[in-house]
Structure 1
Amino acid sequence: MQLIGAHITNYRSVEDSGRFTIEPDVTCLVGKNESGKTAVLQSIYRCNPVESSKRFDEVVDFPARLTSKRKQWKADERIPVVQLTFRFDDGEIEKIEEDLGVGVLESPEFTVTAGYRNEARTFDLKINEGVVVEHLRKPLDLPSAGAAAVGAATTIPELLAALENLEDATSGSSAIVQRIRDWRRSSLMLHIVDQYASAWMPRFVYFDDYDIMCGKVSIPDLIRRRDADSLSRRDRALLSLLNMASVDLRDFQTTDRHERLIRELENSSNVISDEVFEYWSQNDQLEVQLEILQPEQDAQPPLNEGPILQVRVLNRRHRASVPFDERSRGFVWFFSFLAYFTELEEAAEQDLILLLDEPGLSLHGRAQEDLLRLIDERLAPKHQVLYTTHSPFLVSADHLHRVRTVIDQDKVGTKVSAEIFKADEDTIFPLLTAMGIEMTQTMFIGEHNLLLEGPSDLIYLDVLTDVVESTGGAGLDPHWVKIPVGGAGKLSTFVSLLGANRLNIAVLADSSTKDVGAIRRLRDNGQLRANGLIQVSEFVGTGDADIEDLFETDFYLELVNKAYSKELSSRITSADLNPRDPRIVRQIEGYFQQHGLGKFNHYKPAALLLREQAALLQKISSVTVSRATQLFARLNSLLT
């Protein structure tokens, strides 16, 4: 099961966040201090926490500015706070359909709502009751008199009534009656909720930068707080380490076992340390040690009661150790989080979703990159991760689609959005910095920047420039710095980020690019000049076109046939393609799919043209040259 969306209302600074999508692997909430990032994570966490948590408290948590609005709700009426949207995966749907019939779920998605005044969550699923009725009665063999009434039922209550009114009940009919009666309130919806939606819903794990493991604890005090269920997450991190070693706190009160316990604990700490050092590149000379001490003279409560368990970190390079919570907070955070989470992960019976609140605040930039690796390589393959940050080093320039901006706006409260161009300068600053770091390492940015979807676009523009100039025309002006952004979905992000630096930006986009709408909104907001969006269809004469459509069909097919000569059993001709589709690339993609050739790689024909341009340039038609000339004239007119 996967979390795919969230909507937060009436919680602290969040009056109405707006609905925002959640990525299937990692979602990064970026915002400045006091923007409401923590409120968003905490409200989600309370919907289904992995451990006991505070309930929503309308007096404390309801936005103070809206107090009069709160009093308008009836005393027994729930005030919604968090609505989460989940999606069943294919395996889960298959199990539900085995139980209730194929097609019982009209949608794999469902919502869960939690809020004030009513601790019970509500579930909203779209189900087809008729499918279940047919599934239940299909195996029945009833006398004709009873079969008519049962066959006329279209709902579960009607089916139940018909089966209970049978004069000659069979074992099969009685079993179905009992099965329905076993459902909570004999409700199909409640049965699906209890058996599947609620039972399979992932549990949320919340961890923030202050939840580092304690360096010194009084064992008797820790036992009392554990038994009273008043442990902090710092305590739980330490207990997780003990549980991994199969050590109980009361074992420490037996003095003759101390040495054995310490050995078991150190073995477990070494397991965690080994995992930490897979991602912690700052210092590999650290070692976690544990000691059993007696209380110091004049020690303050609770450390005046022994035995005392102390955790220390030894730096082998300097041959010195310090108490655990006095060590560099970066390593301490890594170790504490992995100790806490590893034990939870091993014991979990449901999926876990990690909510990391400002992780790695005290980490060096490179160490924050280590943390990103930990998230991508260790956590995300198994669990969804949502984390908050205002650090540019925790924003992955390769995964900008993960970013959701969090902004606290006057009179409307915290808003969460995937459209980063809505953000103010302070909020977007970490993104700008992250992109700046990436760009300085990977490309040169000039004053005039032409954004392209991918490297094949760059090849075609360079080749067509040579062709046009060989005929006496004007190719693409060399003042343009051509930037392939690595996918259509990144175009609007790059426009927003580069435009914020007051650079001259133009975008060459395929007409069908999904990001065109967002780019137009950027243009309307003044972040892209009025004529800065150029679509290939303007020069091809069709409503939908890719850059490949600048070429004649037969010429582009020659590139494809040569590039895929080993994969094709026979040459592709125009007669093999769908004439109703105006885009040559989509026609070829359809051909590849129809003939089981795998995914068509747009770059291979472009690479072939680059390698063999000496032989191929003379085959480019005058129609293509005319289209390219118009395109270059339009682009060059944008230079200032």
Structure 2
Amino acid sequence: MNRANSRVSQDFNAFWSQTIGKEGKLSLKCDIDNYPVTTTDKAGKTHLVFWICDGNTQLYPKQRSQGVRWFVSFYLQLKASEKTKSRRVFLLDEPGANLHSKAQGDVLKLINKLGKDTSTVVYTTHSPQMIEYPKLFRVHAVQRDGDLEDSPTTIIDAHRLGAATTDTLSPVLAAMGADLSQHQVVKKKNNVLLEEMSGYYYLTAFWKLAGSKRVAHFIAATGVNKIEVLANMFRGWGLDFVVAIDDDKQGREVFKNLKKEHFGDSEEIAKKKLLKLPHGTGIEDTFSIEDFKKYVLDDEAAVIAASVTDFLKTAGRSKPVMAFHFALAVEQDAIKMADLSPDTRARIESTVKAIEEMLAEDA
């Protein structure tokens, strides 16, 4: 029993990073006991008894805080699901609500690592600590479709987050600025503001494919209409940034507004900080049609009559998810620069170079 307790406690502490005092860790303990003779209907019968311990202090679960009890319970549920290979769906409303922000990070670690092959976890949250900025493709926004009490609820998926209200997206925006003092997400320099998550994934992949040595921190908005909000936030925080946006109607309008509001309507100053992506009207046009069908769409039989961007307007495919899969393949070296056509390689290199030059000006 002691060996089992030690094994479970060690595994538990791989997820629970909080300490009691300077070094104290929690441990989980289970033992066999007998009911006292004063318990008439159960006298002498054996039963399991549980404790949550720290150091020399041994307490029953009900004596611990609500947050610790919830975390231990969730850990045990996921662990049991993993051990028994039971396929379960966990639906959680505001998980970790009784935990502080650092402990909520432990909840995310638990969700991502434990039972990931057997369990699906779906949860609602208003906490920025429960939102992973690099994984916004997982996020759905939920809001009322009007101001009336009986207004229906609207669910907005990841590739349409830009349609959500600023209030609904406030946890996402807060997540982007979370732990700013420690610079875990947003850095002081070399920030590149992008329209959406698909741009984040593509440019992260392009940076690796091109072998760029220039440090760049890509920050995705939730739509081109949110770029100006982000730019104002970064300016208010005193952070250096450049902007890379699509060369389409909306992108050109945002470019014009940023040039006027942030750079005194000076083309000379603005071009050092603002970039309309140089190929086509969207970042997907960086790919040749054949490369896009093979390496991004994963459908070489697809018919793309005009541009890739035009095709995507009616394709019904999630841009962030496709971009994520491409970036993952690049990260795992399943796709290399040499695999791409000369046209695609040249476009990737020129796009990376254009952003590198802005960052060099920003240094």
TM-score interval, smaller chain: 0.5 to 0.7
Quickly say closer, same or farther: Cα 1:499–1:428, change in 2 above 3 A. farther
How much has 1:282 moved relative to structure 2? Answer: 0.4
8 Å CA contact retained: 1:421, 1:496 = no
Q: 1:306 to 1:497 in 2, by over 3 A?
A: farther
1:303-350: CA deviation from partner (whole Å, max 9, x where unpaired) = 99965543122221xx2211112213344333322322333333346x
Superposed displacement of residue 292, structure 1: 1.7
Given that residues 287 and 313 in structure 1 are in contact (C-alpha distance below 8 angstroms), is that contact kept between their aligned partners in structure 2? yes
Greater gyration radius? 1
- Does structure 1 retain, via aligned residues, the 8 Å contact 2:32–2:48? yes
Change (3 A) 1:582 1:315: closer
Aligned twin of 2:328: none
Identity among equivalent pairs (%): 22
The gaps in structure 2 that reach 5 residues or longer are 20-24, 208-215, 260-273, 287-305, 310-334, 359-363
SS in 1 for 2:59: strand
2:193 aligned with 1:451, yes or no?
A: yes
Report if aligned partners of 2:143, 2:154 keep a CA contact under 8 Å in 1.
yes
SS of corresponding position for 2:79: helix
Distance 1:600 1:305, change over 3 A: farther
Distance 2:75 2:90 in 1: 12
Aligned to 1:324: 61
Q: Which amino acid aligns with 2:187?
A: M
Residues 279-301 of structure 1: CA deviation (Å, up to 9, x unaligned): 1110324342435242585x8x9
Structure 1 unaligned segments of length 5 or more: list them: 1-262, 458-482, 550-579, 584-588, 614-627, 629-640
Please name the residue that 2:218 is paired with. 485
- The yes-or-no answer on 1:286 pairing with 2:27 is yes
Q: Contact 2:9–2:28 (CA<8 Å) still a contact in 1?
A: yes
Match of 2:7?
271
Deviation at 1:393, TM superposition (A): 0.9
- Equivalent position of 2:230 in the other structure: 498
Aligned equivalents of 1:591, 1:309: Cα separation in 2: 59
**Offset at 1:439?**
4.8
Choose which of 371, 381, 392 in structure 1 pairs with 2:107. 371
Instruction: Tell me the residue number matched to 1:593.
Output: 339
Question: What's the counterpart of residue 82 of structure 2?
Answer: 345
Deviation at 1:501, TM superposition (A): 5.3
Q: Deviations over 1:595-626 (max 9, x none)?
A: 79x9999469957997xx9xxxxxxxxxxxxx
**Is 1:437 matched up with 2:183?**
no
Partner of 1:311: 50
Structure 1: 4+ residue segments shifted above 6 A: 301-305, 502-506, 545-549, 580-583, 598-601, 607-610
Whether the 8 Å contact between 2:161 and 2:223 is mirrored in structure 1 is: no
Counterpart amino acid of 1:451? Answer: L
What is the alpha-carbon distance in structure 2 between the residues aligned to residue 331 and residue 436 of structure 1?
27
Q: Give yes or no for contact 1:292–1:309 (8 Å, CA) kept in 2.
A: yes
Q: Deviations over 1:437-460 (max 9, x none)?
A: 155513249xxx973455889xxx
2:73 paired residue among 312, 336, 354: 336
The two structures have a TM-score, normalised by structure 2, of 0.53
CA 1:606–1:280: 2 relative to 1, 3 Å: same
In the TM superposition, residue 391 of structure 1 has moved relative to its aligned partner by: 1.3
* Aligned partners of 2:89 and 2:120 also within 8 Å: yes
CA contact (8 A) 2:91 2:123 kept: yes
Pair 1:340–1:502, CA change in 2 (3 A): closer
Q: CA 1:510–1:427 in structure 2 vs 1: closer, same or farther (change >3 Å)?
A: closer
Counterpart contact for 1:359–1:389, Cα < 8 Å: yes
SS of 2:134's equivalent in the other structure is coil
DSSP-derived class of the 1:398 partner: helix
Write out per-residue CA displacement over residues 100-134 of structure 1, whole angstroms, 9 at most, x where no aligned residue. xxxxxxxxxxxxxxxxxxxxxxxxxxxxxxxxxxx
Kindly indicate whether structure 1 or structure 2 has the higher relative contact order, using CA contacts under 8 Å at least 6 residues apart.
1
Q: Which residue matches 2:140? A: 404
Q: Distance in 1 between matches of 2:340 and 2:173?
A: 43
SS at match of 1:451: strand
**Aligned counterparts, 1:15-414, within 5 A:** 263=1, 267-283=3-19, 284-295=25-36, 309-316=48-55, 319-348=56-85, 351-380=87-116, 383-409=119-145, 410=148, 411-414=150-153
CA offset digits 1:356-380 (Å, max 9, x no partner) = 3322121121111112122223344
- Would the aligned equivalents of 2:284 and 2:308 in 1 still touch at CA under 8 Å? no
CA contact (8 A) 2:88 2:120 kept: yes
SS of the residue aligned with 1:407?
strand
1:359 aligned counterpart, secondary structure: coil
| Cα distance in 2, alignment partners of residues 358 and 547 from structure 1 | 36
CA 1:425–1:295: 2 relative to 1, 3 Å: farther
Give distance in 2, aligned partners of 1:354 and 1:600.
Answer: 46
| SS across alignment from 2:140 | strand
What is the aligned length?
267
Asked if structure 1 preserves the Cα contact closer than 8 Å seen for 2:32 and 2:46, the reply is: no
Give, in angstroms, the shift of residue 546 of structure 1. 6.5
Contact 1:276–1:334 (Cα < 8 Å) also in 2:
no
| Change in CA separation of 1:582 and 1:415 when aligned onto 2, cut-off 3 Å | closer
Q: Partners of 1:336 and 1:437 in 2: how far apart?
A: 27
Q: Quick one: structure 1 residues 546 and 369, their matched pair in 2 at CA, closer, same or farther if it must change by over 3 Å?
A: closer
Question: What residue number does 2:276 align with?
Answer: 536
Distance 1:601 1:531, change over 3 A: closer
* AA at the equivalent of 1:390: H
Structure 1: distance between partners of 2:73 and 2:257: 53
Measured in 1, the distance between the counterparts of 2:34 and 2:110 equals 34
Contact 1:397 1:438 in 2 (8 A): no
2: CA distance, partners of 1:497 / 1:380: 36
Could you report, residue by residue, the CA deviation over 1:411-461 in whole angstroms, capped at 9, with x for unpaired residues? 32322113444444543332232122155513249xxx973455889xxxx
**Cα 1:303/1:330, change in 2 over 3 Å:** farther
1:34-72 per-position Cα deviation (integer Å, ceiling 9, x unaligned) = xxxxxxxxxxxxxxxxxxxxxxxxxxxxxxxxxxxxxxx
Residue type of the partner of 2:94? E
Q: Is the 8 A contact 1:544 1:582 kept in 2?
A: no
Distance 2:14 2:53 in 1: 18
Residues 1:376 and 1:311: Cα distance change in structure 2 (over 3 Å)? same
- In 2: Cα distance, 1:602 partner to 1:433 partner: 31
Relative to the length of structure 1, the TM-score reads: 0.33
Q: Offset at 1:277?
A: 0.7
Cα distance between partner residues in 2 of 1:426 and 1:302: 56
Separation in structure 2 between the aligned mates of residue 343 and residue 590 of structure 1, nearest angstrom: 40
CA RMSD of aligned residues (A): 5.3
